A and B are shown apart, each in its own frame.
Chain A
Amino acid sequence: MDKHLVSPNPHIHAAVSTESLMRDVIIALLPAIIVSVLFYGWGELLILAVSALSCVLFEWAIAKFLFKDTALFCCPAALVTGLLLAMNLPVSTPWWIVVLGALFAIGVVKMSFGGIGQNVFNPAIAARVFLLVSFPQQMTHWTAPAGFIHSVDAFSGATLLGQVPVLGALEADKLVSLQTLLYNIGGSAGEISALALLVGWAYLLIRRVIKPWITLSIFATVAVVAGIFHLADPTLYTGPLFNLLTGGVILGACFMATDYVTSPMSTWGGVIYGVGIGFLLMMIRYFGSYPEGVSFAILLMNMTVPLLNRWFHGKKYGRA
């Protein structure tokens, strides 16, 4: 080069960009996605594709034509939203509901707040809750898996959590075994394998994409709250293991609650946030009318993030 660059320091940069971080999240989601496709087959693949494609398309179109600023369009970030949304839907969801959900996630929850980095709520979760209250029938219609792997003990009709009022807490607790860790039939497609989700989470930790504190504090709170209630009356309240392994706790704690934009930045803020999610979700499960509380708990705690960011800061050097 005949003319050289001049800029303030630093002159080098870490090998990390918004795109690379989001790519890592997608890679981390792959094990769970593969397992869900194996169990649910082409239908699941279709939902994933429709959701991801429409999220990317909506984000690009809104950034390009409404904001007229393509810097707002981050393809991998929109993909993450799309995949997470798909993983939170039952496999039988009609395609147009998926598209509607994607439009809500990107258009209303993300872009209307100003786009990437500005949204208050996690787009995928907010869209899921939107669909849940708008289409309660379709959204709780759980079908038996008809994928490439057939499970003998698969049962259809309801999720494990949905079994609680039917069977009672004692019987429901017995349904949870080591097998549940590997695969857990019924419920949203993405929740099928706790192990696959945890593998993805471990990948994110190793790549230093996220820190473990939020996820761990959710797990700990769920375990403690469920433990206390379960000890008090095991016939009414399901135990810690059941509550950790069923529903979207692992998916929510590992991938949704840890979303950069809608979670606190400081470690202690993150811990409080996690404890809040764990506590709220257990309250909804035990006392609410919905069997599943992860989405609502995360959305509620999303609202506290600005406050948590204001109250909790890292330790400053040389200041008490």
Chain B
Amino acid sequence: MRDYTIFIPEFIAAGSALGIIAVDLIWPRVRKDLLAYLCAVAAIAWAVASVFYIGKTPNSFQGLIQVDDFTTYFRLMAAGIVFCIALISPNYIRGRIDAAAEYYALLLLGCCGLVFMAAARELITAYISFELISFSLYILVGFLRRDIRSNEASLKFILLGAFASAIFLYGISFIYGATGSTYYDSISKAIDANGSNTAIVVGLMLILVGIGFKLAVVPFQMWAPDAYEGAPLPITAFIATASEVAGFGLFLRLFSSAFHTGAHEWAWAVAILSAITMTLGNLVAIQQTNIKRLVAYSSIGQVGYMLVVIAAIGYGDAHAGAGASAGLLIHITGYIISTLLLFAALIAYYNRTGHDTIRGMRGMAETQPFLALIITVALFSYAGLPFFAGFTTKLLMFQSATSNGLLWLIALGVVNSAISIYYYMMIVREMYLFDPDENVKRFSINPLLAGLAGVLLLAVLFIGIYPGPVLHGASKASTPLFQAGADATSNVTAQMLPK
């Protein structure tokens, strides 16, 4: 049966996207800020609609897309990202971007792609969702039409993205050729029955490359610094959050079901990629002078830490995998909140001063103490200092991922965390220990941004001090991952019924 009701939240999101464009077409003179608020309201509606699916029996659309607690968790994250990005954008967009309606519509559509990447249980569906968010990002990165760096970044991103998605598709065709199916459940069964072969291994590696590109895993990370730097600031925040959430949504869903039986074929590769990624990301971050590029490399480092969990899934059984996935989900949650917090402050600062270099943040503690505090908290959270979200979530994640085979990787992660403190502190030092340049006066910031930053700040502290509720949600969300698909489950139930 085709059950369209499971798509209601995305109908709302996509419908609102079209609605925003329509509003702009019909009333071209509408205040562009209103579009942002419309987009934020749509995100709230999206989240509210998603909440109704919590705890329901997993339901699937023809075995293609499955709505369960995992999907709901990603819906909530997607809606939260869109909400925050929509609210931090209007100030930045004013005077820089004229096609505001398309901007907000693409945010919503891109995040629909994100949700379907996490919800897909079939490779072609996953691929299309992958392309949906990618295309949204290509356009959004190049939205500053008069800015040559933005154009360059967008072009590079498109070319390399096309290359990577071709590789991804090639990997899918290998898998299809070897197992005869693109459904995760059937792939898993086929590998279980026949064992893996050369075609499957090659296919797996090519799919790893595709997802690795999305996540900016070394050596597929090169687009990231350029795109981060060229993109409009709110979109940098969008890439840093949505792109990573999407990548890990697909990663978790795919590698916990379809490829979990053949885990010994890829687990070592993920572990090595993780080690290279975190080390290179953190080392190069030290050399950066532009805050966007620094965030790009720091997020590459963060992806490295998160990959530890994927490797742990490969090395462990389903039970350990579910625990590790919960650790990853809570870490991603803490990470996106910290990132949005950081960018809310950076955008507020950029709007007033036009600085996006680390040197330009000199003396911020004097000129705007609240922003300096916000940035410090976000960076402390990144660095994993106690009482901030990053500490607790990273601790929970590493702890859940710890197994004997991966101790070396965890140790490397801890060393890298220590290195990362160096470059995060460089920014804090610049803000607090130096006097601002001459003629720079204390200024006030947009109350909307300040309010949003305040709420996110509280969220960072809340997760850092009392992670219980979020961890509970993350554990619930990761439960359906290692169970067979919804259709399979119902079959089992049917067999158990008395005849």
Q: Do A and B bind each other?
A: no
| Residues of chain A whose beta carbon lies under 8 Å from any beta carbon of chain B | none
| Residues of chain B whose beta carbon lies under 8 Å from any beta carbon of chain A | none
